[in-house]
Chain A
Amino acid sequence: MSEKQHSHDLPFWRKYIFSLDHKVIGIQYGITGLLFLFFGFCLMMLMRWQLAYPGQPLPVIGNLFSERMMVGGIMLPEFYNQLGAMHGTIMVFLGVVPLAVGGFGNYLVPLQIGAPDMAFPKLNMMSYWVYFLGGVAMIASFFLPEGAAQSGWTSYPPLANIAASGQTVWLIGMVFLITSSLLGSINFIVTIVQLRAEGLSFFRLPFFVWAQFVTSFLLLLAFPPLEAAGVLQLMDRLAGTSFFMPSGLVVAGKALEVSGGGNPLLWQHLFWFLAHPEVYVLILPAMGIVAEVFATNTRKPIYGYKSMVCSVIFLGFMSFIVWAHHMFLTGMSAKMSSFFQITTMIISIPSVILLTALALSLWGGSIRFSTPMLFAIAFLPMFGIGGLTGLPLGLAASDIHLHDTYYVIGHFHYVVAPGTIFALFAGVYHWYPKVTGRKMSEILGKIHFFLSIVLINGVFMPMFILGLAGVSRRLYDQMQFAHAQPTQPLNVFMSVCAWLLGLAQIPFIINIFGSLIWGKKVDNNPWEATTLEWAAPSPPPHGNFDAVPEVYRGPYEYSVPGQKHDFWPQNMAKEN
């Protein structure tokens, strides 16, 4: 391949930094995403000190923070609010999405469809660097005189409109991040439609590719409204417009000098019109990873592949008409809330089908309890808890009491943290051999898994109790409220679990770097899997495949009767 020869001549900075290779870009996304996840986790660990021991000085590192963050090690409420807003923003927009879509999607989609690269390599590179700039802007905002954004990751105006300068940088950062996602999503769609290998029909695509395909449509269609909203809020802050500002506001005893006539609810509609599909952007790639890991480690086809594909498409459509269930308490009429309650109940059905199909895939298998499989198995009950606890929040009557409490925090963290992030861990352990040519340590992997699964439940399970007790989210010090005081001991418990959970990631960090050196070397297909990425060398060279692959069958032909081996790769013409 001339392309392949060509890549050897490229200077270092073209090959590894401003690379056009989807695999290098995927790794860049993956590493940056993991670093942001770690950074976002650190912000949360700081918050958990204030939550467990409100008003007490943070030992050892407390004095390292500047006077506008902590005074004598005691966290200031403005810094707490910054940590909260930035934890959410970083985890969602800079951590999970870049890792799940930018990282796994970029690396795997071209390989799984038998393509040499993405359809638009330069767009792909631009997408990463625009994301990188957005990330730099977000991090840099901590160093502003008034600190980072502090109005929650939801940035509801008027609070966000009148907030300090960190909010402006947050909005600029968001515009970068959204632009990056839009560039990426169009690239994925074109790649999946146009560059599939010979014989790879849509219903032979690995489920992971389907998940990325639907995710790309969600990003493409849901992000523009938020980008518009972000620009409108930027105009409100900088150009004196009042898209989200009603007339007659009095802040701190002074009439606010704005033209007025706007509506703060407009922001919420635009925001949640993105942010609900965003939930599925977070969860679908995770389900895709779980499906791949399940098929490989149960040695049988996943159950109900076609119903899963139909469900994921239906889920994608439905996710655009449920957004206002985040706004039941904004004073909407009973009729309007009925509509959104019905759509919310309807969207639970494809989710249940997906989860059931994955669980039934275990039945009849020969289950290998490898580290990636353990994480993938854990995804099921964890995502199950996340889904089930969405029910009381999706019904307007029970939502009255639970809205904006810790119940919500517990709910969506179960979906995203032990749900999506566990699936992402499964993906890292599963595809690490493909990316590096070496396996990760199973012992370290299992230590990482068992500690994480116990501790993460210790962090999030008590949140449901706090939520039922009515403890509101985003409280700097819940001891100020009588109704929140009895549950304060649980905060200490959750914080200790969170800090230990941080320590439990050390085996993972050692594993991911150490295995580069001492990991067992592997050939093309160490897991004896069927999909096309395992037909390429490990690691795949520029251009991916030694010979252009051709596809003869569906993605999960494991344990086919009459075959000598229990796996029958998609690209194998003859019997196996």
Chain B
Amino acid sequence: MQKYYGWGLPYNASAYGADVDRLIYLLHGFMILLFVGWLIFLVVALFKFRSRPGHQATYKPDHFKAPTYIEVGVALFEAFLLIGFSFPIAKHVRTLPPKGEALEVRVVAEQFAWNIHYPGPDGVFGKTDIQLMVPANPVGLDRNDPAAKDDITVINQLHVPVNKPVIVHLSSKDVIHSFFLPVMRVKQDVIPGQNVPVWFQAKDTGNFEIACAQLCGLGHYRMRGFLIVEQPEQFAAWQAKYAPKVPAPAPVQTPASPVTVAKE
């Protein structure tokens, strides 16, 4: 895993990650430019106007024009950053891909694990119920629900196919967590009582990391999962291996919306 991570931004394995990275690099270039220019001014001023015999302060030096220009320049550049980068990128990241094209998966966070819930071949998430949440059934899946028969639930292992949009429906059983995929430039708070979707599209296969980015208790520092990006065939094979042994029933009419754990 070491080859993905170092002292700078982690490896980018995400289709939209390059946009986020470009903005981060641009910003740092701009920040360094401003800071260095400004530091030079500071050093020159401190040297030139140091107190020494024979030197006197000027009561009202000439009015400076440059600061106004710099000020306006900074304001315009900030507007450019907003309109040219941040708004469109944020919008792109927030806009979910069409449901038919994407793999949908639920991630139910708890202290201190990521429960992953796939809808299975029928593409419909089975009903869940907090009464059914026991260690063997961490998402509380109701196996009597026809839509649940082919659902797959695993812990801390998010398998996804490469080059296909993935929509992750995030919810939490207990406290606030934050779903962080460093290599995908994905980070989304997981708020109990809410179902927040987030999406990404992997452009590379590999074994990556899921981290919790929001303090969630004693085990926050070890709330770690794995993101495994595979070729579609491998992903299909993995799904087949983990599929429940009961044959899937005929497609059902239940609404496609995933049920949050937080529903009464």
A residues near B, CB below 8 A? Answer: 77-78, 81, 84, 151-152, 156, 158-159, 162, 246-253, 255-256, 260, 263-265, 298-301, 303, 329-331, 333-334, 337-338, 341-342, 345, 348-349, 352-353, 356-357, 359-360, 362-369, 377, 380-381, 384-385, 388-389, 391-392, 395-398, 400-405, 465, 468-470, 472-478, 480-487, 490, 558-561, 566
Q: Whole-angstrom distance between the alpha carbons of A300 and B27 in the complex? A: 36
Whether B221 and A475, one on each chain, are in contact in the complex, defined by CB atoms closer than 8 angstroms, is yes
Q: Do the beta carbons of B174 and A559 come within 8 Å of each other?
A: no
Query: Which residues of A lie under 8 Å from residue B194 when comparing CB positions?
Result: 246, 265, 331
CB–CB B59/A559 < 8 A: yes
CB-based contact B49/A363 at 8 Å: yes
Inter-chain CA distance A46–B235, complex, in Å, is: 46
Interface residue tally on B, bucketed by range:
35 or more
Residues of A contacting B56 in the complex (Cβ-Cβ under 8 angstroms): 299, 366, 559, 566
- Contacts A397-B93, A465-B8, A566-B57 given; does A366 touch B178 at CB 8 Å: no
The reply to whether A158 and B214 contact each other, CB–CB distance below 8 Å, is: no
Known contacts: A359-B42, A400-B187. The answer to whether A81 contacts B215 by CB under 8 A is: yes
Q: List 8 additional contacts besides A331-B188, A470-B9; criterion CB under 8 Å.
A: A158-B175, A253-B134, A334-B91, A356-B70, A388-B35, A400-B186, A404-B178, A474-B220
Q: Would you give the shortest CB distance from A61 to chain B, in whole angstroms?
A: 23
Q: Return the chain B residue nearest A388 by Cβ.
A: B31
Q: Name B216's contact: one of A78, A159, A342, A377 (CB within 8 Å).
A: A159
Instruction: Contact check, A356 vs B192: say whether CB atoms are below 8 A apart.
Output: no
Residue B238 interfacial (CB < 8 Å): no
Which residues of chain A have C-beta atoms less than 8 A from B187's C-beta?
329, 400-401, 403-404
* Known contacts A472-B180, A487-B7; A249 and B173 CB within 8 A of each other: yes
Bound Cα distance from A365 to B55, whole angstroms:
9
B89 touches A397 (CB 8 A): yes
Give which listed residue, A357, A377, A474, contacts B215 with CB less than 8 A.
Answer: A474
Closest 8 CB pairs of A and B: A246-B193, A364-B61, A397-B89, A331-B196, A470-B182, A364-B58, A299-B57, A366-B57
Chain B 61-76, CB-CB to A under 8 Å as 1, else 0, gives 1001001001100110
Complex formed: what's the CA distance from A396 to B135 in Å?
Answer: 37
Interface centre among A248, A300, A341, A485 (most CB of B within 10 A): A248
Given contacts A349-B71, A397-B89, contact A78 B58 (CB under 8 A): no
Other-chain residue from A247, A330, A384, A401 in contact with B20 (beta carbon distance below 8 A): A401
A-B pair count, CB < 8 Å, reads 297
Q: Which of B224-239 contact A (CB under 8 A)?
A: 224
> What B residues does A363 contact at CB under 8 A?
45, 49, 61, 64
B71 to A478, Cβ gap below 8 A?
no
Separation of A382 and B91 alpha carbons in the complex (Å): 33
Chain A's closest residue to B58 (CB) is A364
Docked Cα-Cα span, A36 to B28, in Å, equals: 35
B252 within 8 A of A: no
A395 touches B59 (CB 8 A): no
**CB within 8 Å for A395 and B8 given contacts A77-B219, A329-B189:** no
A566: min CB distance to chain B, Å = 7
Contact A481 B224 (CB under 8 A): yes
Chosen A-B contacts, 26 in total, with CB atoms closer than 8 Å, are A152-B215, A246-B193, A247-B264, A248-B261, A249-B192, A264-B192, A301-B59, A329-B187, A334-B95, A345-B81, A345-B82, A352-B71, A359-B45, A362-B49, A364-B58, A367-B49, A391-B27, A395-B86, A397-B93, A400-B186, A400-B187, A465-B7, A468-B8, A469-B5, A472-B212, A558-B57
Could you tell me if B211 and A483 are in contact, using CB atoms closer than 8 angstroms? yes
B5 touches A486 (CB 8 A): yes
Nearest A residue to B176, CB-CB? A156
Min CB–CB distance A450 → chain B (angstroms): 15
Q: Tell which of A341, A356, A401 touches B24, judged by Cβ atoms closer than 8 Å.
A: A401
| A401 and B9 contacting across the interface, CB-CB below 8 Å | yes
Contact A349/B49 with A159-B215, A255-B131, A468-B8 known, Cβ cut-off 8 Å: no
Q: How far is the CB of B189 from chain A (nearest CB, A)?
A: 5
Also in contact, A329 and B93, with CB within 8 A (given A159-B175, A478-B221): no
B10 within 8 A of A: yes
Evaluate contact between B49 and A366: CB separation under 8 angstroms.
yes
The answer to the question of B185 belonging to the interface, with a C-beta cut-off of 8 Å to chain A, is yes
Q: Would A472 and B213 be within 8 Å (CB), given that A249-B173, A362-B42, A381-B35 are in contact?
A: yes
Q: How far is the CA of A465 from the CA of B78 in the complex (A)?
A: 23
Chain A residues contacting B19 (CB-CB under 8 Å) are 397
Q: Is the CB of B59 within 8 A of A398?
A: no
Interface residues of B in 189-216 (CB under 8 A from A): 189, 191-194, 196, 209, 211-216
How far, in whole Å, are A135 and B155 apart by their CA atoms in the complex? 43
Alpha-carbon separation in the docked complex, A560 to B261 (Å): 72
How far is the CB of A66 from the nearest CB of chain B, in Å?
Answer: 17
Are B70 and A158 within 8 A (Cβ)?
no
In the complex, what distance in Å separates the CA atom of A332 from the CA atom of B217? 24
Q: How far apart sit A330 and B196, CA to CA, in the bound complex (Å)?
A: 8
- Nearest CB to that of B12 among chain A residues? A401
Contact in complex: B82, A341 (CB < 8 Å): yes
A126 to B187: give the CA distance in the assembly, Å.
Answer: 45
B107 nearest CB across to chain A (Å): 14
Q: What 1/0 flags go to B33-61 for Cβ under 8 Å of A? A: 01100110110011001111001111111
List the B side residues contacting A400 at CB < 8 Å.
Answer: 20, 93, 185-187
